[in-house]
Amino acid sequence: MEDRCDVLVVGGGLGGVSAALAAAVDGARVVLTEETDWLGGQMTVQGVSALDEHRFIERFGCTARYAAMRETIRDHYRAAHLRPEVERIGLNPGRGWVSRLCFEPQVGATVLDRMCREAGVFVLRGLRPVGVRWQGAQIVAVRYEESGFCAGTACTLWPQVVVDATEMGEFLPLAGLPFRTGAEGRTETEEPLAPVVADPDAVQPCTICFALEHRPGEDHRIPKPEGYEAFRATQPYSLTLTRADGSLWAYPMFGPHSLWTYRRLIDGTQFAGATSDVSLINWPANDFSGSLLVSDAATLSERLQCARNLSLGFLYWLQNEAPRSDGGVGYPGLILRPDVMDTPSGLAKQPYIRESRRIIARCTIRQQDIDAGCGSGPRASAFPDTVGIGWYSIDIHVGGPLDRDIFVPTWPFQIPFGALLTTVCTNYIAAGKNIGTTHITAGAYRVHPVEWAIGEAAGTAAALSLDRRLGTLCEGEGLLALQHRLVEHGAPLFWLVDVPWGHPGFIALQDLCARGFPLPERLEFDPDAPWTGDAAADDWVQRRGIGAAFTAWRGEHPSATRIEAVSALHRLLNIH
């Protein structure tokens, strides 16, 4: 089979789905390909449906489309048999203490399917790319074969633009595009946390997640997996975590602040009837530190099996050897829930990937750009070509008994468009964990809402580039057009937490900031406060050539609020 499309999105993870939706909404004919039978990547296929987000997420700091996805997931559970006393607003089905929204992976997959169907995205499942055809500096065709995961039909697709959302950046070596793996050296990036010498194998561990139910009084112990003794000794298997300051904290198995409630997906007490708790196990004890970013298929298969055995070993330890508060050991009533992960084994369909191959980008985001220890805040370094925002700590899992995990606070940051683009291909856009971060900053840009924002920017740029060359969107009027289109669709580019998408002044404020309007020295804009002006804002107005017109407007509106003044400036600039 052969077919042509405007935009080909390779990979159906969060970045891929987001890119496909954005491009389709903007009128492009989009084909989205995915190796597995589920869309959603880390949120579904990889099992991490306890979302890694930030404290503003319910009102700001994500795109409108991401927020709509979250609310649609909540609607699924609001329509279920919730107990009358359960709060519907801000519902968290699992009430896991790590996240404001924890739910079953299949619910997320169903919601993403519906969103793609309603947007007119053509989804091909069970396919993996195996060949790329170039013409000059452009990719003109991608050849696919069946992945073996589910039924698919071999085909060749001929796109105008390729959006790469593969989970491990697998498309990069296939296409012959330059990329990095592992840690850059300090002399290259000048990052304080970087190793002195580059280490391409220093890749964050993956995790094979699994879901459990607890049935006290029953015995559901699994057979001891291969390699168990070695895993127990070297991992190690434990309920104890090392904090950022080096201190140890021992968590109980059950209770309000425990392993069980850490990423709990279903809190049975919120639902009527005999609903059981379901807990997701994604813990340092089942982090697998062998890099999956290898070219040899046999090595990859061997490491994946080892990672599965490691996770099953942790379950075996929990069932047989974990210390109990009553002085005993083991919880034999823990049982795998294969139905939650939709797999015979009960393990997630694919490993949770924290770090990908990364493009050699036009712009590389470094630790100095986002680290809260660098600069004075309240925002990270400003990128004039911002196409989205995010906020998460630099969270790097190292793995192994002699290494130290890294957890460093960041300022709320931006996503520069240059980080999505290579210097060698004129119709390629990265849309996931494969963008131009370093090993250090990848630890902050890898989480759910940031990956979605990256994908939305990539898909919007892909659709817009059908009418103009992709390179023209990098600066000047082309960049402003891209930024305006994103803002129109509810994707914030600047951190102003009290003027979210849906606010009548959101588009005007974000548009003006893209044109250099001075940001306040706090995350709040105070939209309803009186407009008093300041030297920086007055200077900006004068430099834009609308000083006289704005002065006249001010004379007619002496009691104007700050957001009313911004909206007036937006009209005076006649931004479309």
Q: What is the 3-state secondary structure (H, E, C) of 174-230?
A: HHCCCEECCECCHHHHCCCCCCCCCECCCCCCEECCEEEEECCCCCCCCCCCCCHHH
**Angle at the Cα of 241 from the Cα atoms of 239 and 247, rounded to 5 degrees:** 135
**Residue 143 identity:** R
User: Rounded CA gap, 68 and 21, in Å?
Assistant: 13
**The pLDDT of residue 498:** 98
Query: CB under 8 Å to 280, separation ≥6 — which residues?
Result: 47, 48, 49, 50, 94, 96, 102, 209, 210, 211, 263, 264, 265
Residue with tokens 């559970």: 77
CB atoms within 10 A of CB 70: 21
Q: Which of 214, 371, 393, 396 is nearest to 289 (CA)?
A: 396
Q: Judging by beta carbons within 10 Å of its beta carbon (0-12, 13-18, 19+), is residue 326 exposed, middle or buried?
A: exposed
CB atoms within 10 A of CB 81: 10
Which SS3 state, helix, strand or coil, does residue 524 take?
coil
Phi (first) and psi of residue 121, to 5 degrees:
-80, 130
- Tell me the two tokens of residue 257: 């602040």
CB 7 within 8 A of CB 30: yes
Q: What is the pLDDT of residue 12?
A: 98
CA distance 39 to 17: 7
**Residue 315, Cα to own-chain centre: how many angstroms?**
27
Per-residue pLDDT of the chain (576 residues; tens, 9 = 90+): 899 999 999 999 999 999 999 999 999 999 999 999 999 999 999 999 999 999 999 999 999 999 999 999 999 999 988 999 999 999 999 999 999 999 999 999 999 999 999 999 999 999 999 999 999 999 999 999 999 888 889 999 999 999 999 999 999 999 999 999 999 999 999 999 999 999 999 999 999 999 999 999 999 999 999 999 999 999 889 999 877 677 788 999 999 999 999 999 999 999 998 789 999 999 999 999 999 999 999 999 999 999 999 999 999 999 999 999 899 999 999 999 999 999 999 999 999 999 999 999 999 999 999 999 998 889 999 999 999 999 999 999 986 544 568 899 999 999 999 999 999 999 999 999 999 999 999 999 999 999 999 999 999 999 999 999 999 999 999 999 999 999 999 999 999 999 999 999 999 999 999 999 999 999 999 999 999 988 999 999 999 999 999 999 999 999 999 999 999 999 999 865
Determine contact, residues 558/501, Cβ cutoff 8 Å. Answer: no
Identify whether the C-beta of residue 204 lies closer than 8 Å to the C-beta of residue 397: yes
What residues form DSSP beta bridges with 34?
A: 125
Beta carbons of 35 and 188 less than 8 angstroms apart: no
Give the predicted TM-score (pTM) of the model: 0.97
The phi and psi torsions of 21 (rounded to 5 degrees) equal -60, -45
